[in-house]
Amino acid sequence: MSVAKAYRLKASPWSSHGRILRYLEGRPRTARILDVGTADGYLGRALRDAGFTHIVGLEQDAVLAAGARGRSVYAEVIECDLDQPATWPPAAPFDVIICADVLEHVRDPWSALRELVNRLTAQGRVVISMPNSGHWWVRLNVLCGRFPLEARGLFDRTHLHFFTWAGLRDLVSGAGLSVEHCWVTPIPFTSLGDGSAANRLARGGEAVYRGLALAWKRLFAYQFVLVARRHAGVAQR
């Protein structure tokens, strides 16, 4: 399984990456962070720029892992099969584990997330971003008898699983986690435009669409971003 190379950092503050980085503003800069599915390290670069000093990457694709190491922002980039969590090397517990747009690419995200929870400190948090497969665009395509395969987005051809809000909650709960915070993102119009006029229009479109997503997340949220912690009474292994 190779995480799609087409993805890059989404700069909008309302994007999944923007929301993750804003949440982490309140964490100590010495927090141990595990970036799962690092790709070439674009999120790690943003974390380092935000002042975090101990970031570890977990990546399967050898070429992407090499690219992440080349950014010199990670304490370590561990190259391993994300689809076989039982084979992952041991690691010290992490204060924050980030799964940004990665679990839907894994064959068994349930087992992967449970293994990640085993690598969490007692007061640690898991941060997950996930596309919303209950989005109106997905529903409309399925209603019309279509399921397009695209380079990225809701119909990314490398997605192996498609989660609605209910499915994502079940995934998190099954790993022994409780949702602490949840945010929604609008369609990332700003990532599509180049010129200043187009960007202004895109920002306006994102603002309007964000209102719809906040009002009816199951239908209009483009992505869900959530923070989860261990269920009360669940001990660290």
Answer whether residue 215 is part of any domain: yes
Q: How many domains does the chain have?
A: 1
Residues 54-104: tens digit of each pLDDT:
999 999 999 999 999 998 899 999 999 999 988 888 888 999 999 999 999
Residue 205: the pLDDT is: 78
C-beta separation of 103 from 128 below 8 A: yes
Residues 152-170: tens digit of each pLDDT:
889 999 999 999 999 999 9
Domain containing residue 115: CATH number: 3.40.50.150
Residue 189: the pLDDT is: 77
Question: How many angstroms separate the CA atoms of 144 and 192, rounded?
Answer: 26
Answer whether residue 72 is part of any domain: yes
Range of the domain at 133: 16-228
Answer whether residue 110 is part of any domain: yes
Answer whether residue 2 is part of any domain: no
Answer whether residue 237 is part of any domain: no
pLDDT above 80 (res 196): no
Answer whether residue 10 is part of any domain: no
Answer whether residue 189 is part of any domain: yes
Question: How many angstroms separate the CA atoms of 78 and 234, rounded?
Answer: 27
pLDDT above 50 (res 1): no
Answer whether residue 4 is part of any domain: no
